[in-house]
Chain A
Amino acid sequence: MEASKVIHAIYNDDDVLMSAVKKVKAEKHHIEEIYTPFPVHGLDKAMGLAPTRIAITSFMYGCVGLTVAIVMMNFIMIKDWPQDIGGKPSFSYIENMPAFVPIMFEMTVFFAAHLMVITFYLRSRMWPFKKAENPDIRTTDDHFLMEVPVHNNEKALTELLTQTGAVEIKVIDKEDTH
């Protein structure tokens, strides 16, 4: 990583943070990351993050779930141990399809929901026994932290961030752990 020096600016209000983000972006500085105790509405847009693609994965997982349900019910109820469904022993998947619709629906939802949550965790680099990346413990309580990389402009950045209403500004020498 090129930027080994970063500034941590701490805010204690989400509205102040939002206007600060807009100001910093307007000055064409890159914001590396923001840590907040709760989701701040519209922050992703203000930071200029690309829109999430999780909905697309959710759709694909739903399709997988639907397919699994169809294949599973076909194997269980038609192939492996043919069942007489509702007194209509036709042993054909398509003719007994209405009986399987609730399962098809539930499996679609199940796959979409669970795999989407797991995808979200992995994409956010969160997994069991992972050490928290959170640089300041107060961001889990009531403070907001903005991390801005420094490119030989420490003084100008500090000044700008103070103007935006940061209550605390720290310059950190980041050890390149990545």
Chain B
Amino acid sequence: MYTLSNRLKMASIVLIILGLLGVSYGFWDSHHYKTTEDVKELLASEHHEGGHGEAHESTGHDAAAAHGDDQHADDHAVVESHADDEHVEEGHKMSHEEHVLHQIHNRPWSALYVAAFFFFMIALGVLAFYAVQYAAQAGWSPVLFRVMESITAYVLPGAIIVLLIAVASGTIGHYNLFIWMDPEVVEHDKIIQGKAGYLNLTWFVVRGLIFISGWALYRHFSRKFSLAQDNADDNKNFKRNFRISAAFLVFYIYTESMMSWDWIMSVDPHWFSTLFGWYVFASMFVSGITVIALMTIYLKSKGLLEFVNDSHIHDLAKFMFGISIFWTYLWFSQFMLIWYSNIPEEVTYFVTRIEDYNLPFFGMVVMNFVFPLLILMNSDYKRVNWFVVMAGIVILCGHYMDVFNMIMPATVGDRWFIGIPELGSICLFAGLFLLVVFNALSKAPLLAKRNPFIKESEQFHY
């Protein structure tokens, strides 16, 4: 049995409090700028500092295009003129100052949303990994089941928080994340009008609730059967788990994909990518596996999980290595097709990222691909704990940047920074995540002792 230590509890509560302070500071700070006059002042001061935002001051931007697709009037005449063609006739112009004001107001919302999604995605990735273990009747992994089950305890609260932030941004907030929630924008935007049958607040909430209830139900029953199996004399509960896991995986791969369109891709409502769901899946899968590995190593260092041996760590590290490459494959597939065809309405997505997000965009590829590739390539290094931990931390930072790169360009444009709102949000959800996960871990024995594969798993040797 694991008991939640007071130190860990205190640490996570401190993180939550620090996070709340950071998040509140972010909101308070962004509301310093109330009118376009304040923004004019800001832009003028920035202009003095480093010529930021020249050429922008006189350019008019409409909300939809401005919501991420612009900022490069100078070099990217093609993209810009396309955006203009499309929208000028439709009117609804917004001055550059007003647009910057929106971006400033969007930042704390986006920071909160990115961190909330990142921690939720870890839990959902682990849930999928766990279901795969059951459906495949894997023999190596049952010793890790209780670790996985405790991480998946965060799926329900995490998903609800993400959905709440999304809905709040379109009700309490001023459409800070999803411009398609803004009726005024939709009125002037033919493309969003065409998607309104799918992209509307009611349907968004209904779909979100369907996804969440499906995931949470699976999590609830698989945990229940897993605990019941501990004291059973037959394998009935295991078989039930096998069946619901197989069914869940089918449900998951559809809902995960749709969730990624709803909760992430729709921040750029004009842009779409057909492999986006897979891309987000790869990100959540590798982050989830990494957290399983980190948590296992942590618990082992506390003298718990004595039945977990080097070979289990080795296998987790192989997954971290393999899925990192899988992520890169999808990242590159998405990038290359759009880069190659060079269609203005598609390529604008990457133009924004390469111009305004150069460091995070390419830095993320280094952290998510080059670093784990080189560190974890050698077979022996996969069982050296501190190597795995080091690679794991870099992978997690890299995947935070991945979510950051998916949301921020659409909401704050070139006004991004990793500052107090972002770090505060990370602290807030990290604290919550730790509290929920380790609390769930303390609720059951650490070994799923009556799992039919537990002997094989304990003796697993590579």
| A-facing residues in B243-287 (Cβ within 8 Å) | none
Q: Is A87 located at the chain interface by the 8 A CB criterion?
A: yes
Q: Mark A139-165, 1 if CB is under 8 A from B, else 0.
A: 000000000000000000000000000
Looking at the complex, which one of B335, B340, B379 makes contact with A86 (CB distance below 8 Å)?
Answer: B340
| A-facing residues in B300-352 (Cβ within 8 Å) | 332, 335-336, 339-342
Q: How far is the CB of B99 from chain A (nearest CB, A)?
A: 30
Looking at the complex, which one of B336, B377, B378, B379 makes contact with A98 (CB distance below 8 Å)?
Answer: B336
Give Cα A101–Cα B331 distance, bound, in whole angstroms: 13
B461 (CB) vs chain A CBs: closest residue = A42
* Interfacial chain A residues near B339, Cβ < 8 Å: 86, 98
By the criterion CB–CB under 8 Å, are A86 and B341 in contact? yes
Looking at the complex, which one of B335, B336, B342 makes contact with A88 (CB distance below 8 Å)?
Answer: B342
* Interfacial chain A residues near B378, Cβ < 8 Å: 55
Give Cα A98–Cα B340 distance, bound, in whole angstroms: 8
Give Cα A102–Cα B329 distance, bound, in whole angstroms: 10
Give chain B's interface residues, CB within 8 Å of chain A.
332, 335-336, 339-342, 377-379
The 20 sampled A-B contact pairs (Cβ below 8 Å) are A55-B378, A55-B379, A59-B377, A85-B340, A86-B339, A86-B340, A86-B341, A86-B342, A87-B342, A88-B342, A98-B332, A98-B335, A98-B336, A98-B339, A98-B340, A99-B336, A99-B340, A101-B332, A101-B336, A102-B336
Give Cα A60–Cα B227 distance, bound, in whole angstroms: 49
A85 (CB) vs chain B CBs: closest residue = B340
Q: How far is the CB of A177 from chain B (nearest CB, A)?
A: 37
* Interfacial chain B residues near A85, Cβ < 8 Å: 340
Give Cα A99–Cα B341 distance, bound, in whole angstroms: 11
* Interfacial chain A residues near B335, Cβ < 8 Å: 98
* Interfacial chain A residues near B341, Cβ < 8 Å: 86
Q: A59-B377, A98-B335, A98-B336 are in contact. List 9 more A-B contacts (CB 8 A).
A: A55-B378, A85-B340, A86-B340, A88-B342, A98-B339, A98-B340, A99-B340, A101-B332, A101-B336
Q: Mark A77-106, 1 if CB is under 8 A from B, else 0.
A: 000000001111000000000110110000
Give Cα A126–Cα B13 distance, bound, in whole angstroms: 65
Q: How far is the CB of B16 from chain A (nearest CB, A)?
A: 43
Which of A59, A85, A86 has most chain B Cβ within 10 Å? A86
Which of A88, A98, A101 has most chain B Cβ within 10 Å? A98
Give Cα A102–Cα B332 distance, bound, in whole angstroms: 10
Give Cα A88–Cα B342 distance, bound, in whole angstroms: 9
Give Cα A87–Cα B347 distance, bound, in whole angstroms: 13
Give Cα A55–Cα B378 distance, bound, in whole angstroms: 8
Q: How far is the CB of A43 from chain B (nearest CB, A)?
A: 14
* Interfacial chain A residues near B342, Cβ < 8 Å: 86-88
Which of B340, B377, B378, B379 has most chain A Cβ within 10 Å? B340
Q: How far is the CB of B365 from chain A (nearest CB, A)?
A: 12
| B-facing residues in A41-80 (Cβ within 8 Å) | 55, 59
* Interfacial chain B residues near A102, Cβ < 8 Å: 336
Q: How far is the CB of B78 from chain A (nearest CB, A)?
A: 11
* Interfacial chain A residues near B332, Cβ < 8 Å: 98, 101
B339 (CB) vs chain A CBs: closest residue = A98
3 closest A-B pairs (Cβ-Cβ)?
A: A86-B340, A98-B336, A98-B339
Q: How far is the CB of A169 from chain B (nearest CB, A)?
A: 32
Q: How far is the CB of A57 from chain B (nearest CB, A)?
A: 14
A62 (CB) vs chain B CBs: closest residue = B377
* Interfacial chain B residues near A86, Cβ < 8 Å: 339-342
Give Cα A85–Cα B341 distance, bound, in whole angstroms: 10
Give Cα A88–Cα B341 distance, bound, in whole angstroms: 10
* Interfacial chain A residues near B336, Cβ < 8 Å: 98-99, 101-102
Give Cα A87–Cα B343 distance, bound, in whole angstroms: 11
Q: How far is the CB of B310 from chain A (nearest CB, A)?
A: 14
Give Cα A102–Cα B335 distance, bound, in whole angstroms: 13
A41 (CB) vs chain B CBs: closest residue = B461
Q: How far is the CB of A106 from chain B (nearest CB, A)?
A: 13
Q: How far is the CB of B332 from chain A (nearest CB, A)?
A: 6
Q: How far is the CB of B378 from chain A (nearest CB, A)?
A: 8
Q: How far is the CB of A42 from chain B (nearest CB, A)?
A: 9
Give Cα A86–Cα B337 distance, bound, in whole angstroms: 10
A99 (CB) vs chain B CBs: closest residue = B340
Give Cα A99–Cα B335 distance, bound, in whole angstroms: 11
Give Cα A64–Cα B340 distance, bound, in whole angstroms: 27
Give Cα A55–Cα B342 distance, bound, in whole angstroms: 40
Give Cα A55–Cα B335 distance, bound, in whole angstroms: 31
* Interfacial chain A residues near B340, Cβ < 8 Å: 85-86, 98-99
Give Cα A88–Cα B336 distance, bound, in whole angstroms: 13
A42 (CB) vs chain B CBs: closest residue = B461
